Amino acid sequence: MSGHAYQRLEKLRAPLVPDRVRTIGGQSFSFLHHRFLRDGFLSLDGDELRLYVFLLLAGNRLGVSFYGVDAICAVLRIPLERYIQARNALVAKDLVAFDGTRFQVLSLPERPSYAEPQRPLRTPEDFEDHDPATIRAILRHDLGLDSDS
């Protein structure tokens, strides 16, 4: 590459606002892998993408976050049904793990999954059969592990 071409490239790479360059600076820091854009993972719907970015920002260095459903819905300003649909879609697409209480943002799979959207959970039976948080609460209750006990 010629000196002139190199100088032009460096000028293009320079920050637009040099005094506002992001730094880690000892605080927590999240990242979104470039493969998310390059390999087609950006095809998430609006609620899925917002929840995924929230979980990225909320997670610790291992990608684990402890926010509850009420807090997540309040921050994202989405109703419970849309949260559940987005959460279940992210799990089905192998982007996050959920155990009924905690989330973990996973390393990206080899390629995006275009899993069919699951039908919304509407009845108590739907939640008891398919919602990890509800299943966990039922098991804790049946085992006598409720905090109210």
For residue 67 the two structure tokens come to: 């926010």
User: What is the CATH architecture of 27-142?
Assistant: Orthogonal Bundle (1.10)
Instruction: Find out whether 55 and 29 touch, Cβ atoms under 8 Å.
Output: no
User: How far is Cα 97 from Cα 2, in angstroms, rounded to an integer?
Assistant: 49
Give the angle subtended at the CA of 37 by the CAs of 32 and 39, to the nearest 5°: 115
In this predicted model, which residue has the larger pLDDT, 76 or 145? 76
Task: Tell me the per-residue pLDDT of 73-90, one tens digit each, with 9 for 90 and over.
Answer: 999 999 999 999 999 999
Alpha-carbon distances of 14 from 2, 23, 80, 128, rounded to whole Å = 18, 15, 43, 54
Hey, where are the domains in the chain?
27-142
Burial class (CB in 10 A: 0-12, 13-18, 19+), 72: buried
Full-model pTM: 0.68
Count of C-beta atoms within a 10 Å radius of residue 131: 18
Q: Is the pLDDT of residue 114 over 60?
A: yes
